[in-house]
Structure 1
Amino acid sequence: MIQQPVISDSNRLRLFAGSANRPLAQEVARYLGIDLGPMIRKRFADGELYVQIQESIRGADVYLLQPCCNPVNDNLMELMILIDACRRASARQITAVIPYYGYARADRKTAGRESITAKLVANLIVKAGANKVLAMDLHSAQIQGYFDIPLDHVYGSPVLIDYLARKELSDLVVVSPDVGGVARARAFAKKLNDAPLAIIDKRRQAHNVAEVMNVIGDVKGKTAVLVDDMIDTAGTLLEGGKLLKKEGASKIYACATHPVFSGPAASRLSSGVFEEVIVTNTIPIPEEKQFEQLTVLSGASLLGEAIWRIHEDTSVSSMFR
């Protein structure tokens, strides 16, 4: 159980939030026992963003919380403007706290003449003036190496695992929705009393379109927990859930850290395939995208604890041992 931190130099610690997810930022501030820093954010008539910090941050350690969720371009640009404003206000150190890292899916070249946007965004954040980055559940671990500054990477899985453990589900099997997510699912299963693992073999024909082929592992009569880092259009998850039902799974739960929920995601997830869809609040979910089976857990204590440990120069990785 994570305990409330005691900050040795709270006058030097400042937490500011962009507009992308202020409720999460307020929860993090409450966990740290501080107030969100005052700032002005407005938009000019042509759509340009304007940001002004409303207190002195000279010599302060500043943490800027801003997920790069929809609208991605606006939120990413706002983060860079915030970083630049703090740098010009003589902050001693600026840490970009990015609960959801946008543009992460293009993390390598799979064809000719395409951009590696995960690296491009890392370059932009560094050039804007960030000294450190705190990110949660990056789409791929290699993105950590795209930054030329220190990056601390935390996971949403402890929150999800604690919730599932309290439900005391019987005959549990953890399922990876694709081969690429096996490491994540294996670590998840290990924390759930070494639950067995299954893998869905699929062939992706285009972006956001998945064709499920077969299940590797035994799911018959078991409670299947599909684990992923994000849910976007939920096409992959829905097809995976249908296949698990066909293979004899008794109940199916879906877990993910980031509820991107684009397009038809809400209707797909509420179609009756899943007993429950469990996510964290790294991304705010509009009311029209919420549904009966949805459970949203808070990751504020994880982020708050990581911020405190970074500020106190103690280990962040030890949070997950």
Structure 2
Amino acid sequence: MPDFHKLESLIPVAPLALIVMDSAKDLGEKVNNHLSSFRHALHTLPSDPAFRDYVKDDYRVSYQNPRFGSGESKVTLTESIRGKDVFILADVMNHSLTYKMHGYTNYYSPDDHYQDLKRVIAAINGKARRINIIMPFLYEGRQHHKNNRESLDAAVMFKELHEMGITNFLTFDAHDPRISNAAPISGFDNFMASPQFFKSLITNIEDFVVDKNNLTVISPDEGALDRAVYFANVLGVNTGMFYKRRDYSKVVNGSNPIVAHEYLGDDIEGKDVIIIDDMISSGSSMIDTSKQLKKRGAKRVYICTTFGLFTNGIDIFDKGYEEGAFDALITTNLIYQTPEYADRPYYIVADMSKFLATVIDFVNHDASLSYVITPTESIQDLLKKVNDKA
């Protein structure tokens, strides 16, 4: 684990202020509690003015975000953030919030959340010492490359926020981190949830064995291969992948439909399999992949995904679990999850709040993030605990 006591010798950039957007309230509360716990546990702090208001019970700054009947909105900060190191936490995928427009009830879209984020930045109006954006799910992250006359939305978003004055942008499992090239002198950090996946597996799954004879890590497509190879190499196990064969003559719901999944890799008969990916959208592709693995003789199948969107609901996973297609689904709380999903017997939530609080604490001190950006040491520490028990 990172040594938080080392931060005592590093002067913070400025007093910490956490603005939690309405879209991320539950996660923000947990992050705030961890930050307070970290700092209350530190040794005696220097009398340096830089450590003024360093230890607090609550770092959150409240704001108001009313909407007019026309659907337009504004943001008002209810307290001063002058000279502070501001971290804004936003979940652009929260589909549970509503607002009234011309008498009708509308649900927030990612576009609505993004506009509210820009309103908060505009309300700060150059008063903060630094503005750091924490957007776990990268807004428009899937539109990260340009073909023909398409828009390049992810890069446009990042460039726009940079021009509004942000200093750092923190996200998780970006489809393509190279969108940071749109504003190359702005900070852009992309984190992985691999240690939390592994911790959830060894905590919740009995007789979980990690070696080449008992475990394989699978990528469900070409795009997720890098993270699967990394995870497998750190665990010291083999990896494989599925190739998605698509029908490029059709477009359904914005993408070419998948015709079949072709498996490339070693024999998995009798082994546990981890499927690791950045997101689940509708889930049909993931269930199909799981079924194919079981047909090939996989003992147990564990699905690990950073963002469980479940755009068509979770019924397909209920059915898949009943049919034995997979044995557990692990996803993070970085984005909003429908509360009743957690009641499923196969549904495991990997809590990212402590990890996120650690990142905020280190960024506030301008300390190295090498430990959390490439969490090899953390995974190996967990692996050692598993091996010691065996």
Q: Same fold (TM over 0.5)?
A: yes
> What is the rounded CA distance, in whole Å, between the counterparts of 1:119 and 1:260 in structure 2?
22
TM-score (norm 2): 0.76
2:88 is matched with which residue?
A: 64
Letter aligned with residue 345 of structure 2: E
User: Is the Cα–Cα contact under 8 Å of residues 174 and 197 in structure 1 kept in the other structure?
Assistant: yes
Letter aligned with residue 124 of structure 2: C
Letter aligned with residue 119 of structure 2: I
Letter aligned with residue 197 of structure 1: T
> What is the rounded CA distance, in whole Å, between the counterparts of 1:208 and 1:285 in structure 2?
27
Structure of greater Rg: 2
1:47 is matched with which residue?
A: 71
The match for 1:261 among 306, 310, 322 is: 310
Identity of aligned residues (%): 28
Moved more, 232-241 or 4-13: 4-13
> What is the rounded CA distance, in whole Å, between the counterparts of 1:108 and 1:144 in structure 2?
12
The reply to whether residue 98 of structure 1 matches residue 135 of structure 2 is yes
1:300 is matched with which residue?
A: 353
User: Is the Cα–Cα contact under 8 Å of residues 39 and 53 in structure 1 kept in the other structure?
Assistant: yes
User: Is the Cα–Cα contact under 8 Å of residues 218 and 240 in structure 2 kept in the other structure?
Assistant: yes
The reply to whether residue 280 of structure 1 matches residue 332 of structure 2 is yes
The reply to whether residue 25 of structure 1 matches residue 28 of structure 2 is yes
User: Is the Cα–Cα contact under 8 Å of residues 209 and 235 in structure 1 kept in the other structure?
Assistant: no
> What is the rounded CA distance, in whole Å, between the counterparts of 2:20 and 2:174 in structure 1?
20
The reply to whether residue 143 of structure 1 matches residue 179 of structure 2 is yes
RMSD, aligned CA: 2.1
Consecutive unaligned residues of structure 2, counting only runs of 5 or more, are 37-56, 96-108, 377-390
Letter aligned with residue 152 of structure 1: D
> What is the rounded CA distance, in whole Å, between the counterparts of 1:4 and 1:43 in structure 2?
41
Letter aligned with residue 155 of structure 1: M
User: Is the Cα–Cα contact under 8 Å of residues 19 and 75 in structure 1 kept in the other structure?
Assistant: no
The match for 2:230 among 159, 184, 187 is: 187
1:175 is matched with which residue?
A: 218
TM-score (norm 1): 0.92
> What is the rounded CA distance, in whole Å, between the counterparts of 1:47 and 1:208 in structure 2?
34
Pair 154,222 (structure 1): closer, same or farther in 2 beyond 3 Å: same
2:16 is matched with which residue?
A: 13
Letter aligned with residue 226 of structure 1: I
Cα deviation 1:12-48 (Å, max 9, x = unaligned): 1100111111111111111111421121122211122
> What is the rounded CA distance, in whole Å, between the counterparts of 1:241 and 1:213 in structure 2?
11
Cα deviation 1:148-182 (Å, max 9, x = unaligned): 41112221111112222343523111100012211
> What is the rounded CA distance, in whole Å, between the counterparts of 2:345 and 2:163 in structure 1?
43
Pair 25,209 (structure 1): closer, same or farther in 2 beyond 3 Å: farther
Pair 288,301 (structure 1): closer, same or farther in 2 beyond 3 Å: closer
SS of equivalent residue, structure 1 residue 20: helix
SS of equivalent residue, structure 1 residue 100: coil
